[in-house]
């Protein structure tokens, strides 16, 4: 998507990698922190995102703590188990994935910022084997399947990250 705007994407493995603590109070703050730090260290524009699952009945949790909801960063099985426990007996299972993208520049130019969202609901049981994270529990009405049952192309078409990246690409095209 970015190549059509003359932007060559460099993988993180080709840059000076740094650890950025995601201690912001929102997806937007965490994305900004990561992009700004990478842009400064590498003296290149840097794109970062922060994303997560928000559940209405849980007041937006797990939210910015999505990847470490059960206490260990990246433990998908534990996170899914905790989510199902938290929603046991709950009728309102409305949920959404949210993504904030931040493109920072090392020369201090104003960043490009975009967000994407996809609405759905949390299933009572796992469904599907594709994807990662909460995908087996997230039912997407636009696709009429869980994210874990969708093909990568289907998911990219409606996902929060896909929407945020398309919005960012549109900003770059207009600039």
CATH class of 3-8+23-174: alpha beta
Q: Give pLDDT tens digits for 40-63.
A: 999 999 999 999 999 999 999 999
Distance, CA of 91 to CA of 89 (rounded, Å) = 6
Distance, CA of 3 to CA of 77 (rounded, Å) = 35
Please pick, among 50, 76, 119, 135, the residue that the annotation labels catalytic: 50
Q: Give the per-residue pLDDT at 150.
A: 97
Q: Give pLDDT tens digits for 104-115.
A: 999 989 999 999
Is residue 49 part of the annotated active site? The answer reads no
pTM of the model: 0.92
Q: Give the per-residue pLDDT at 11.
A: 81
Contacts of 166 (CB under 8 A, 6+ apart): 1, 116
What residues in the chain have per-residue pLDDT under 70? Answer: 1, 5
Q: How far apart are the first and last CA of the chain?
A: 15
Are 146 and 140 within 8 A, CB to CB?
A: yes
SS3 at position 92? coil
The first and second tokens of residue 122, run together, are: 């949390």
Q: Give the per-residue pLDDT at 172.
A: 85
């Amino acid at each position: 998507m970015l190549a059509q705007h003359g932007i060559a994407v460099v993988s993180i493995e080709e840059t000076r990698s740094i650890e950025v603590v995601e201690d912001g109070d929102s997806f937007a703050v965490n994305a900004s922190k990561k992009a700004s730090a990478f842009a400064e260290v590498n003296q290149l524009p840097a794109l970062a995102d922060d994303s997560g699952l928000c559940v209405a009945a849980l007041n937006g949790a797990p939210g910015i703590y999505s990847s470490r909801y059960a206490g260990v960063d990246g433990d998908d099985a534990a996170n899914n188990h905790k989510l199902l426990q938290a929603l046991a007996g709950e009728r309102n299972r409305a949920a959404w994935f949210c993504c904030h993208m931040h493109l920072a520049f090392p020369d201090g130019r104003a960043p490009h910022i975009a967000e994407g969202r996809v609405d759905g609901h949390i299933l009572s049981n796992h469904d599907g084997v594709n994807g990662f994270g909460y995908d087996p529990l997230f039912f997407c009405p636009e696709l009429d399947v869980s994210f874990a049952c969708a093909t990568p192309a289907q998911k990219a078409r409606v996902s929060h990250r896909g929407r945020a990246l398309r919005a960012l690409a549109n900003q770059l095209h207009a600039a």
